[in-house]
Every structure is written in structure tokens, then in C-alpha cells.
Copies of this chain bind each other. A is one copy, B any other.
């Protein structure tokens, strides 16, 4: 199971190829993204989604944008252009910390004084974006390795949304743990929350797990508590979009409910996320902004209206799960058991 979610093809004048996730699972189509505007749109409408994949997309987006500036331009002009592009891309998905992390990392490269000319800068930016992608793939493998021990032979795992290969360069975060346990020959079952309103669980997670040959069963979000009450869930693993210094974790709407339900049934709840997901500048989850998304996502389904057209809608993209509900956070550096500000700082040092 090694889906290339997003990759650069060709040299400095090349382009990005990414799986258009809005078409899955009906069709696995690879989209060629050839300019920064197309990348902005791809991030905005979730053709590419999942915290790490968004970071990679943004980094490649900068490289695409820099193709618009001539090699003869001065370094100062190139740096100004880069800043503009970064500001533009930052607006595509304002809650995704990996987006900002990747953009900042790219800007840092540009600020190094040893760059002689714009052509060289452009090459350095492409190299850095490639490095972000390659490091992400390696991180996912490491997360899988550190988490796989949590899944025992015969376990049943619940997951929410899609923290799979499609959310990263490849292999995933929460699903990396499952892919690795599967590679180790363990037999286990997975229940996947469909994850309203955009159904990433139904469309993407079931598809990825089935591709890998893992036993997966789809449920509606409101069925998880019932399964837990029947003793049918042994552990929960989800991804995260942003984790505060104290371990409070923002993830897809509904994650908080799953965590509270897991706690009420004595089921351990884990988050799997690369260390880039931590935002140590934010002391706790209260400070994480919650993006409100379009009401159309809730009142229509494809072309079909499912509610009165003029009904009021509340549609937060994320919720925040307080650290007290987390049995652990699985990172590429290891497992942070019962995370706290101290244990998180220690692991990230």
C-alpha cells in the first residue's frame, strides 16, 4: 500500500501531480497542477487534504508560483514575490498549522544569504519542497513503527475522518499504525466513521484500508457510541490538525465526541501526528481558531438537497479534544504517553 498522494514531476519547470480526492472512491484520478492559483483552489476545496499533505501542497505551490518570475529578476524581487505567494497560499486553509509550518520553512530557505541568484533560489525552493515531502514519507513510516504495538492480534480499532496515506505524502498517520500492524501480520478489524459532512471516512479511509486488504467496516458517526457500549471497540486512533503545547488537539469535527465516548467506556484514545502538527506557541486548545465551513456542505448532498433551503446551519470544520482524553500521541519520534506540557516539550526537544 503505497499511494503517492502528491509529488513533483520534472525539473524546475515541472509541475505537481496529485490524486484529486474529491473524486474518490468512485474514481482515482491524478490531477496535474501547473500554477499556484490551481494549487490554492486544490487546497481550498479539499482536492488535497490532511494536515501533512496540505503542507507539502503549499510548499510545491510556492515553487509553481515562482515559475512566474524571470531568472533575471533580482534576489530582492524574488523574495518579495515569494512573500506574496506565501501570504496568498496561507489564506487557502486558515486552520491548518502544517500549511504555515511549510510556508515558513520555505521562506527561511529564501532568507539564507548564500543564494547567488534567482535561478539558484528557485532550485533551492524545489529542493526544500522535495525534502518536506520525503521527510513526511519517512515520518509516516516512523509513526507506523512507534504505534503498531498498540494494535494487538484480534483488536478492533475505531478511526474518524481520514488520517491515511491520502492525508500525507504517502502511508498516513493514524492509518500508518494500521498499515504497519498489518505488514507485521497481525489480524485486526477497523470501524471507520463516515465523517460528515464531507465523508472522508466513507470515501477515503475505507478505500485505503480495503486497498491494503485490512478488514474495515463503515459506520455513520452516530453509531460509534453504540458499538462501544457493546464492547466492540478496543482502541481509537485518529489524526490531528493542530496540537497545542499542553496536548489539546484540534482534529476533524466529531473527534471530540469520539474521545468523550471512548473515555465513558474506558477505551484508550490515541492521536497519531507528526511533530510538525504541534504548535507550541499555543498554550492550550482554547486558542485554536475553529474554521466555519460553507452551509451548503450540510444542506446538500452532491446535487441533492436534504434540508429546507433556508435552514440555519452550524458547520465547524474542527473541534478540540482536551489532552486529558488522550491515552497517547504517536509521533515519528515515539509515543507520548498521557501527554502533558512537560512530556510534549521533552519529546520535541
Residues of A whose CB lies within 8 Å of any CB of B are: 25-26, 191, 193-197, 199, 202-203, 206-207, 210, 215-227, 229, 253-254, 256-258, 260-261, 263-264, 298-299, 301-308, 310-316, 319-320
Which of chain B's residues has its CB closest to A227's CB? Answer: B314
In the assembled complex, 14 residue pairs joining A and B whose CB atoms fall closer than 8 Å, in A order, are: A194-B196, A202-B307, A215-B312, A216-B311, A217-B311, A219-B298, A219-B313, A221-B254, A223-B253, A224-B257, A225-B256, A229-B256, A260-B264, A263-B264
Given A218-B312, A220-B254, A260-B261, output 12 extra A-B contacts at Cβ < 8 Å: A26-B305, A193-B222, A194-B306, A199-B307, A202-B298, A203-B307, A216-B312, A218-B311, A219-B315, A220-B315, A229-B319, A302-B304
Copies of this chain in its oligomeric complex? 2
| A203/B306 in contact, CB under 8 A | yes
Q: Give bound CA distance, A250 to B304, whole Å.
A: 30
Closest Cβ of chain B: how far from A219's Cβ, in Å? 5
* A196-B222 in contact given A306-B202, A307-B203, A311-B206 (Cβ < 8 Å): yes
Give Cα distance in the complex from A45 to B225, angstroms.
Answer: 26
Complex formed: what's the CA distance from A313 to B257 in Å? 21
Query: Residues of B contacting A202 with CB < 8 Å?
Result: 298-299, 306-307, 311
Complex CA gap A202/B296 in Å reads 13
A301-B298 contact, Cβ under 8 Å, with A261-B257, A261-B261: no
A34 to B139, CA, bound (A): 65
Residue of B nearest to A310 (CB): B210
Among A226, A303, A305, residue most surrounded by chain B Cβ atoms (within 10 Å): A226
Cβ–Cβ contact A217 & B306, under 8 A: no
Alpha-carbon gap, A299 to B218, bound state (A):
8
